[in-house]
């Protein structure tokens, strides 16, 4: 396949798998041949002693795929961070016309005198 040819993936999954699993903890380990990411759901409310949790998924990756995953996660996190930063700007505050979130009506404010 030529290097400039674009590939399209056609991946199907059942609804249960598509729903995914919630995780609030991950552990990354590696061997000479692979990386392993273990995702878990833990109870962060525990103040002392053992923290209870349950593994919800475990994924083994080749070193090459791990690099690609890190790059993709970095790219997506950067895009998310930029979008969230834009939402924090004054012009995207309450009452703005930002189409990504529903707006609530705001009460009119009194005009201020220039200083």
pLDDT tens, the chain, 115 aa long: 566 788 899 999 999 999 999 999 999 999 999 999 999 999 988 888 898 999 999 999 999 999 999 999 999 999 999 998 887 777 766 655 544 444 444 444 454 444 4
Assess if residue 74 is contained within a domain: yes
The tally of domains found in the chain comes to 2
- pTM here? 0.64
Do 71 and 49 belong to one domain?
no
Q: Can you give the residue range of the structural domain that contains 40?
A: 12-61
Whole-Å CA distances, 30 to 58, 72, 103: 13, 19, 46
Q: Helices marked H in 1-115 — which ranges?
A: 15-19, 63-87
Assess if residue 29 is contained within a domain: yes
């Amino acid at each position: 396949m030529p290097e400039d040819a674009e590939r399209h993936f056609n991946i199907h999954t059942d609804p249960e798998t598509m729903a995914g699993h919630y995780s609030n903890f991950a552990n990354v380990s590696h061997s000479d041949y692979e990386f392993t990411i273990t995702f878990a759901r833990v109870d962060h409310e525990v103040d002392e002693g053992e923290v209870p949790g349950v593994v919800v998924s475990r994924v083994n990756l080749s070193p090459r795929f791990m690099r690609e995953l890190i790059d993709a996660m970095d790219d997506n996190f950067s895009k998310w961070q930029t979008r969230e930063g834009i939402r924090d700007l004054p012009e995207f505050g309450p009452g703005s016309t930002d189409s990504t979130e529903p707006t609530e009506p705001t009460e009119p404010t009194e005009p201020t005198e220039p200083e």
